[in-house]
Chain A
Amino acid sequence: MTPLRSNLDTASETYASNRGAQLQLLARLDEQLELVVAGGGERYLQRHRDRGKLPVRERVELLLDPDSPFLELSALAAWGTEFTVGATVLTGIGAVEGVECMIIGHDPTVRGGAMNPYSLRKTLRALEIARVNRLPVVNLVESGGADLPTQADLFVPAGRIFRELTALSAAGVPTVALVFGNSTAGGAYVPGMCDHAVLVDRRAKVFLGGPPLVKMATGEESDDESLGGAEMHSRVSGLSDYFAVDEHDAIRLGRRILARINWRKLGPRPAPHPEPPRYDPEEILGIVPPDAKVPFDPREVLARIVDGSDFDEYKPLYGTALVTGWASIHGYPVGVLANHRGVLFGEEAKKAGEFILLADQTDTPLVFLQNTTGYMVGASYEQGGIIKDGAKMINAVTNSTVPHLTVIMASSFGAGNYGMSGRAFDPRLIFAWPGAKLAVMGAAQLAGVLSIVGRASAESQGKPFDEEADRKRTAAIEAQIEAESHSFFVTARLYDDGVVDPRDTRTVLGMSLSAVHSNRVEGRRGFGVFRM
């Protein structure tokens, strides 16, 4: 045991003000999450219930094992866009009959569950997570299909949904469709491509073309039931494997299907009875300062995340702006890379590279805790080969094959985002805290750079430089970049898998680690560990 010792003074003013600022951020997050839960709003929800239907969240609750946890993903998708926050679809990882599944459920109270470009990205991300981690997929289908005005952004990439579903099947990962309502046109391929389909009597409508389209195309008179009802598909077409008398029955059948897939996770099991951290995760809120310029010691965070607050630090005296070390979370061994003082120097980059190679050598998953302003700039660093050192780190991150999990705690700027396994480096799951900021550089720096470039350009062309216009432009750019760096803006675009409460980090990482262990956990082999 090498327990971390916390130096956090919970009675200090800094602690109180940090905590206050975090609670404000969390209140704003909660507001948005309430909107997500509200879906299409009270009126549409009531209409849905009046039809004898369950809201998507109740469908999910019935599907999940009682009292089991559920890690919802991309909850704030489409935040700040013309579309309803949440993007008309719910995705997340939960246990069904003891099998961790990716659950994808349409919210029919939002525009009939119609799919917009954000819904598509959210669905595709969920399917990607299912594929790379080998999570069986349960689709809770009730969608009016494509949001037609946005078809130009949808039609071409949407085909990937069917491709992902059938690729999962081929990879030995079962897929299930529980059809509660409309699943027409392209949507009809969801039950079509899944290994198991359950259709609800008199509710499910699964056809390529509905009665009006059929009438237009061939002049044939038809009705919903004969074209795509559950009874027809159960008796005649055989598209439906199980006929469900109602929604509850469909969910019951879905659970029975999962109970019978004989599922075995391929990764090693966690150590039993992990110790909780010695320090209260609640205190994380008092660690993180609201001002991104103020660094904080990630060991304080680790002391509230890892099992028993037990952390064996690697190279503690070298490249000290990056903390690396070994720990376990909910019984899963992990290697941790956590930024300490924002900047990554050559030493930090080389230390990270070696550490990642060590993790790959021992098949140990990696957890990246980001708070980085990027790689150091300046003449002596450039001359010292910072690009080469950064490249080593990025090379190691890229080619490491152990699962990566990333949490953006605060800043995530520049190539630091890449080196610390940002979205583009395909971490298995990536989450952000509400105060996280993500951009090519800080808003003020970016606006300042543009201002300097503009001034230089004016000078070289011999034009007068309008100071007033520059001030306005700089302020506008700074505001724009600040807004675009906001964690909600970033998560809305699916650049992470969700904004999470910092106090939940241990649970989020624990569930993520359990999910990634559905697949094999194997590091890259070939070379030895380079001593850089």
Chain B
Amino acid sequence: MIRKLLVANRGEIAARVMRTAHAMGIATVAVHADPDADAPFVRLADEAVRLPGAAPADTYLRGDLIIAAARDTGADAVHPGYGFLSENADFARDCAATGLTFVGPSPEAIAAMGSKLEAKALMERAGVPVLAGAAVTEDTDLAAVAERIGFPVLVKAAFGGGGRGMRVVHRAAELADAVAGARREAASAFGDGTVFLERYVVDPRHVEVQILGDTSGEVVHLFERECSIQRRHQKVVEEAPSPAVGDALRTELGAAAVTAGKAIGYVGAGTVEFVLDRAGRFAFLEVNTRLQVEHPVTELVTGLDLVQLQLRVAEGEPLPPEVIGASITGHAIEVRLYAEDVPAGFLPATGVLHRFRIPELPGIRVDSGVTDGSVVGPHYDPMLAKVIGHARTRHEAARTLARALQHAELHGVTTNRDLLVGILREDDFLAGRTDTGYLTRHDPAALGAVEGDGVRQAAAAALARQARNRRTARVLAGMPSGWRNVGGPPQRVAYTRGEQTHEVTYALGRAGLHLEVDAAPLGGSVRLLSAAPDAVELEIDGVRRGYAVHTVAGVSYVDGADGSAALTEVPRFAEPDAAALAGSLLAPMPGAVVRVLAESGETVAAGQALVVLEAMKMEHTVAAPVDGVVAELRVGPGEQVVTGQVLAVVDTTAGR
């Protein structure tokens, strides 16, 4: 029986594992790198042990430190989560060697599946359909091998996952570079640079089957998941069941997966990945010997808790009847909410997540690793959370999930939310026409383009600011906002939203609100129904909408039914630069010139020392106030100067 479980992972999966452990009465231990010291999963754990440093290689990949942490805290089991050490056979062996229960398959199974090459060979022997491919060594004749497989060819890390170290090669000429690159990436990410080549199926569906084995040798499958929508080989949307899989195919896939599992004596939760082409033919890709990121969709359609089952199997229990007789109820869709800039090419985004709120809707599950105020740094995977919708049908699940995302308050960090909402509402997706080329055919920037232009949001931000200003006023707080007894200019505030600037002008008077954004009214009739620092209600041409406004450090995050916007307030007064006083350099006091450090005509930078004076036994440096060219030097060494005497003139225009 497991009494205390160390979770050798971070973020949402660490928290998710701990929740189930706690529900089962199992104590938990977190390990954390320095940037995660305040992360929610650390707080959730009963005990936590610091892994000094930030880089994964110094922290979450340090099996020795983690085993030491387990020993120090008296943990008797280790759950590796996904990624990091989850598919590291040595770590699993080391755990076993120190008497720790590793929640996962045997080191042998991990090792067998860890090498994708060996795994494929093994599966081929067991009768599981596989793709043509070949291993690559230093002396492999790449061209010949590729010729045999046929282009396009996929270069893949033998040990690894998550799309890292993968390259698609269309021409022989690119092959060598791709292999070298994949090697480097694999070596740095997984500690082993072995790669292999495989026939690349263009735009297949990515379908995987959840398997579960127990120590008695029983292996069952818990149906398929489809994870075709990917960007850069990273899954974005996952669902169960697959819209492309009918009952017959499901049975075939399930049987192949169970065959694969049994071939390696699989114990615990694992996933057999397949590619599925348009004709419905499938081929083995790999076995992931761990819990998958997307496991919640299986949990929702089967009603099972996979982590609980993992822990039970690890405790030696046989698979319970509800697993043996599992069935699918409804449809579940998971999206991965990433901190990333989609239009900029999925660049990871960082920052402080000032607010993270996803509305509670029936059937919506949120597995998140963050909370209000979390810092999203550059060290780890930029996934903030998984949001999963479960409903009677696929359409309903997509619809509710899209609403939950659209109404989520995600403040402070750029996310792929708009892209996710765009996918969930897109016709091809809703028709089930999904494959790995989905985000190539559908431009992510266009999918994520939000209707509306932030104008109403800017108005809401200004009106909330107005309410805040009144509420925080030290005097005259009870007076009507912006009250004037004689007319005059309206109140004015400007915001930037990305490249855009919005200027809001408004007056609140007896006649109600008069407001313009960028010199245009919001509509024919505009009424302000209420304004508070965090909420504004506007009625525009008879349509009433509420806007939640959250302002942190000059940025207003506005969420409304017609869109969200992050608006940065433009300060009323620009901070003047230090170069306010350009031109002549004057002697600050009487004294003697000790040194002249520049020549006439020399280009100088602001702050550069030009003349050194000595007065009252102290040296005083006179520096260039601005970038420019020394137009005149009026003094030389040894010369006596008086206060205010011009020493030099710096011309700011000559240099430009």
Interface residues, chain A, CB within 8 Å of chain B?
Answer: 33-34, 36-37, 57-58, 60-62, 65-72, 75, 95, 98-100, 231, 235-236, 243, 245, 248-249, 251-252, 255, 265, 270, 274, 282, 330-331, 498, 500-501, 503-504, 507-508, 510-511, 514
Distance, CA A37 to CA B474, complexed state (A): 28
In the complex, what residue of chain B is closest to A517 when comparing beta carbons?
Answer: B475
Residues of B within 8 A of A270 (CB): 478
Tell whether A235 pairs with B644 under 8 Å between CB atoms, given A68-B476, A511-B479.
yes
Closest-CB distance, A476 to chain B (whole angstroms):
34
A67-B469, A98-B475 are known; give 6 further A-B pairs, CB within 8 A. A34-B487, A66-B466, A66-B469, A69-B476, A248-B573, A511-B479
Residues of B within 8 A of A36 (CB): 486
Binds A, one of B123-131, B140-148, B305-313, B489-497: B489-497
Shortest beta-carbon contacts, A-B, top 8: A98-B474, A69-B483, A252-B573, A69-B479, A67-B469, A57-B488, A72-B486, A37-B487
B445-496, CB < 8 A from A: 465-466, 469-470, 473-476, 478-489, 491-493
Residues of B within 8 A of A34 (CB): 487
Tell whether A504 pairs with B485 under 8 Å between CB atoms, given A100-B476, A231-B581, A274-B478.
yes
B470 touches A67 (CB 8 A): yes
Most chain B C-beta atoms within 10 Å of own C-beta, residue among A66, A100, A243, A507:
A66
Closest-CB distance, A432 to chain B (whole angstroms):
12
Residues of A within 8 A of B469 (CB): 65-68
B574 touches A248 (CB 8 A): yes
B572 touches A66 (CB 8 A): yes
Most chain A C-beta atoms within 10 Å of own C-beta, residue among B488, B493, B644:
B488
Residues of A within 8 A of B574 (CB): 248
In the complex, what residue of chain A is closest to B493 when comparing beta carbons?
Answer: A66
Closest-CB distance, A176 to chain B (whole angstroms):
16
Distance, CA A65 to CA B482, complexed state (A): 9
A514 touches B573 (CB 8 A): no
Residues of A within 8 A of B492 (CB): 61
Residues of A within 8 A of B498 (CB): none
In the complex, what residue of chain B is closest to A518 when comparing beta carbons?
Answer: B475
In the complex, what residue of chain A is closest to B483 when comparing beta carbons?
Answer: A69
Residues of B within 8 A of A274 (CB): 478
Tell whether A67 pairs with B491 under 8 Å between CB atoms, given A235-B586, A249-B576.
yes
Could you give, for residues 401-422 of chain B, a 1 whenever the CB lies within 8 Å of some chain A CB and a 0 otherwise?
0000000000000000000000
In the complex, what residue of chain A is closest to B492 when comparing beta carbons?
Answer: A61
In the complex, what residue of chain B is closest to A99 when comparing beta carbons?
Answer: B475
Most chain A C-beta atoms within 10 Å of own C-beta, residue among B474, B483, B486, B491:
B486
B580 at the interface (CB under 8 A from A): yes
Tell whether A75 pairs with B478 under 8 Å between CB atoms, given A68-B469, A245-B580.
no
B510 at the interface (CB under 8 A from A): yes
Distance, CA A69 to CA B484, complexed state (A): 6
Distance, CA A282 to CA B475, complexed state (A): 25
Residues of A within 8 A of B466 (CB): 66-67
Tell whether A245 pairs with B576 under 8 Å between CB atoms, given A67-B481, A69-B480, A100-B475.
yes
Most chain A C-beta atoms within 10 Å of own C-beta, residue among B475, B482, B492:
B475
In the complex, what residue of chain B is closest to A252 when comparing beta carbons?
Answer: B573
Distance, CA A249 to CA B573, complexed state (A): 7
Distance, CA A249 to CA B574, complexed state (A): 8
Residues of B within 8 A of A251 (CB): 573
In the complex, what residue of chain B is closest to A97 when comparing beta carbons?
Answer: B474
Closest-CB distance, B648 to chain A (whole angstroms):
16
Residues of A within 8 A of B580 (CB): 243, 245, 249
Closest-CB distance, B592 to chain A (whole angstroms):
22
B473 touches A68 (CB 8 A): yes
A514 touches B487 (CB 8 A): no
Chain B: interface residue count, which band?
20 to 34
Name A33's contact: one of B486, B489, B491, B493 (CB within 8 Å). Answer: B486
In the complex, what residue of chain B is closest to A330 when comparing beta carbons?
Answer: B478
Distance, CA A507 to CA B580, complexed state (A): 42
Could you give, for residues 270-300 of chain B, a 1 whenever the CB lies within 8 Å of some chain A CB and a 0 otherwise?
0000000000000000000000000000000
Closest-CB distance, B626 to chain A (whole angstroms):
12
A60 touches B488 (CB 8 A): yes
Residues of B within 8 A of A61 (CB): 488-489, 491-492
A70 touches B483 (CB 8 A): yes
Distance, CA A270 to CA B479, complexed state (A): 13
Residues of A within 8 A of B470 (CB): 67
Residues of B within 8 A of A70 (CB): 483-485
Closest-CB distance, B182 to chain A (whole angstroms):
56
In the complex, what residue of chain A is closest to B487 when comparing beta carbons?
Answer: A37
In the complex, what residue of chain A is closest to B573 when comparing beta carbons?
Answer: A252
Residues of A within 8 A of B573 (CB): 62, 248-249, 251-252, 255
Tell whether A37 pairs with B479 under 8 Å between CB atoms, given A67-B466, A235-B586, A243-B580.
no
A243 touches B482 (CB 8 A): no
Can you offer 26 A-B residue contacts whose CB atoms are under 8 A?
A33-B487, A37-B487, A37-B488, A57-B489, A60-B488, A61-B489, A62-B573, A66-B469, A66-B572, A67-B481, A68-B482, A69-B476, A69-B480, A75-B486, A95-B473, A95-B475, A100-B475, A249-B573, A252-B573, A270-B478, A282-B510, A331-B478, A503-B510, A504-B485, A507-B480, A511-B479
Residues of A within 8 A of B473 (CB): 65, 67-68, 95, 98
Distance, CA A99 to CA B474, complexed state (A): 8
In the complex, what residue of chain B is closest to A331 when comparing beta carbons?
Answer: B478
Closest-CB distance, A457 to chain B (whole angstroms):
47
Closest-CB distance, A321 to chain B (whole angstroms):
31
A37 touches B478 (CB 8 A): no
Distance, CA A251 to CA B487, complexed state (A): 21
Residues of B within 8 A of A62 (CB): 572-573
Closest-CB distance, A521 to chain B (whole angstroms):
15
Closest-CB distance, A415 to chain B (whole angstroms):
30
A72 touches B491 (CB 8 A): no
Closest-CB distance, B164 to chain A (whole angstroms):
50
Residues of B within 8 A of A60 (CB): 488
Distance, CA A116 to CA B488, complexed state (A): 23
In the complex, what residue of chain B is closest to A36 when comparing beta carbons?
Answer: B486
In the complex, what residue of chain B is closest to A56 when comparing beta carbons?
Answer: B488
In the complex, what residue of chain A is closest to B467 when comparing beta carbons?
Answer: A67
In the complex, what residue of chain A is closest to B470 when comparing beta carbons?
Answer: A67
Residues of A within 8 A of B476 (CB): 68-69, 95, 100, 510-511, 514
B560-606, CB < 8 A from A: 572-574, 576, 580-581, 586
Residues of A within 8 A of B487 (CB): 33-34, 37
Distance, CA A231 to CA B486, complexed state (A): 36
Residues of B within 8 A of A100 (CB): 475-476
Residues of B within 8 A of A37 (CB): 486-488
Distance, CA A58 to CA B488, complexed state (A): 8
B485 touches A501 (CB 8 A): yes
Tell whether A243 pairs with B581 under 8 Å between CB atoms, given A37-B487, A66-B493, A235-B644.
yes
Closest-CB distance, B584 to chain A (whole angstroms):
9
Distance, CA A283 to CA B470, complexed state (A): 26
B644 touches A236 (CB 8 A): yes
Distance, CA A377 to CA B223, complexed state (A): 105
Residues of A within 8 A of B485 (CB): 70-72, 75, 498, 500-501, 504, 508
Distance, CA A58 to CA B492, complexed state (A): 10
Distance, CA A57 to CA B486, complexed state (A): 10
Closest-CB distance, A270 to chain B (whole angstroms):
8
Closest-CB distance, A512 to chain B (whole angstroms):
11
Distance, CA A330 to CA B478, complexed state (A): 7
Distance, CA A511 to CA B491, complexed state (A): 19
In the complex, what residue of chain B is closest to A500 when comparing beta carbons?
Answer: B485
Tell whether A69 pairs with B482 under 8 Å between CB atoms, given A58-B489, A245-B580.
yes
Closest-CB distance, B571 to chain A (whole angstroms):
9
Distance, CA A501 to CA B485, complexed state (A): 8
Distance, CA A70 to CA B481, complexed state (A): 10
Residues of A within 8 A of B572 (CB): 62, 66, 252
Distance, CA A95 to CA B483, complexed state (A): 12
Distance, CA A318 to CA B374, complexed state (A): 70
Tell whether A510 pairs with B491 under 8 Å between CB atoms, given A67-B470, A504-B485.
no
